[in-house]
Amino acid sequence: MTIFDIPVHTLNGEPSSLAPYAGKTVLVVNVASKCGLTPQYEGLERLQTTYEDRGFSVVGFPCNQFLGQEPGTAEEIQTFCSTTYGVTFPLFEKIDVNGENQSPIYASLNQTADAEGYSGDIRWNFEKFLIDPSGAVQRFAPTVTPDDPILVGAIEGALG
């Protein structure tokens, strides 16, 4: 089983999975609406619109595990993201990325080390995992912004 097979729910609570993204380039991000890094939504949306025609998508998983920075309901999260940042990429249900109730998607992803060699628990909101069409995963720290040349280069490399 890959992360594309793991059952998840859309932000609206509908059963889903990441299966539609299998074989594509995907940037999985744990997001939050009340974080100092929240303005990264703007850059994530720019990545979405720049590369979506080439088989790329950002997918966001709201998470309230870091100082309660995603306290909203699904409707509040959707409204905030669409009206404040014009988010069009898919948002899934609010999940735990660490701990006892950790999503199986993150249990799989957090085994990947970033460029500094860090693996394990998610450190903060907006940690990023780039999955290429072959399923290879690259991890990027929360402070790596969506317009960072390292991340953009990795996306372009994965897209071929």
Q: Using the 8-state DSSP alphabet, how is residue 91 labeled? A: B
Residue 160, pLDDT score: 86
Report the pLDDT value the prediction gives residue 76, as an integer from 0 to 100: 95
Distance between start and end Cα atoms, the chain: 26
Tokens 């402070």 locate to 143
- What residues are paired with 9 via a beta bridge? 15
- Give the burial string for 82-120 (b: 16+ CB within 10 Å, else e): eeebebebbbbbbbbbbeeebbebbeebbebebeeeeee
Catalytic residue among 26, 35, 81, 91: 35
Confidence of residue 104 (pLDDT cuts 50, 70, 90): very high
| pLDDT of residue 1 exceeding 90 | no
Q: How far is CA 103 from the centre of its chain?
A: 13
Q: Is 81 known to be catalytic?
A: no
Q: 32, 135 in Cβ contact below 8 A?
A: no
Looking at residue 42, its pLDDT comes to 97
- Give residue limits of the domains in the chain: 3-159
Can you read off the two tokens belonging to residue 125?
A: 């909101």
* Mean pLDDT on 7-23: 95
CA dihedral 7→13→19→25, nearest 10 degrees, is -120
pLDDT in tens, 115-148: 999 999 999 999 999 999 999 999 999 999 999 9
d(CA 128, CA 15): 23
Q: What is the pLDDT of residues 70-97, one digit of tens each?
A: 999 999 999 999 999 999 999 999 999 9
Query: Beta 128-131 vs 15-16: how paired, if at all?
Result: unpaired
pLDDT in tens, 31-83: 999 999 999 999 999 999 999 999 999 999 999 999 999 999 999 999 999 99
CATH entry 3.40.30.10 includes domain 3-159: yes
